[in-house]
């Protein structure tokens, strides 16, 4: 499924991959929130956001993700940010979110562990 540049693909019965594209900002932050919310409603516990192609992350984009993290954790799952660029990782660190958010590098569409 694709909504305004945000792609979503099922990996397995508990895991979904969401790919925001080159930017996550005011234009598509609501679409990201909707994609994450739909995945949560569908019962996905492992929500992976592949940020490898993300070049620009605004405060609205950060908010779209942060607004959903606690819901996933309360359901026994998590939202994991995969492969953020150094620039995007720096934004997250400046906002002091590096330890709060789950951030990984590697194959985002790989098998669950």
Q: Would the pTM of this model clear 0.85, i.e. be above it?
A: yes
pLDDT at 110: 73
- Per-residue pLDDT tens for 35-50? 999 999 999 999 999 9
Instruction: Indicate the fold that domain 2-104 takes in CATH.
Output: Transcription Regulator spoIIAA (3.30.750)
Name the pairing type of β-strands 56-57 and 23-24: parallel
- Per-residue pLDDT tens for 52-70? 999 999 999 999 999 999 9
The helix or strand, by DSSP H or E, that contains position 24, with its residue range, turns out to be: strand 23-24
Annotated domain spans of the chain: 2-104
Confidence class of residue 107 from pLDDT cuts 50, 70 and 90? confident
């Amino acid at each position: 499924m694709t909504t305004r540049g945000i792609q979503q693909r099922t990996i397995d019965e508990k895991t979904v991959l969401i790919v925001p594209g080159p930017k996550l900002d005011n234009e598509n932050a609501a679409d990201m929130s909707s994609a994450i919310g739909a995945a949560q409603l569908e019962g996905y516990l492992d929500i992976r956001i592949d940020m490898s192609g993300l070049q620009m992350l605004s405060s609205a984009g950060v908010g779209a993700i942060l607004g959903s993290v606690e819901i996933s954790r309360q359901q026994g799952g998590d939202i994991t940010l995969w492969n953020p660029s150094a620039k995007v990782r720096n934004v997250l660190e400046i906002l002091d979110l590096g330890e709060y958010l789950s951030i990984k590098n590697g194959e985002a569409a790989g098998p669950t562990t």
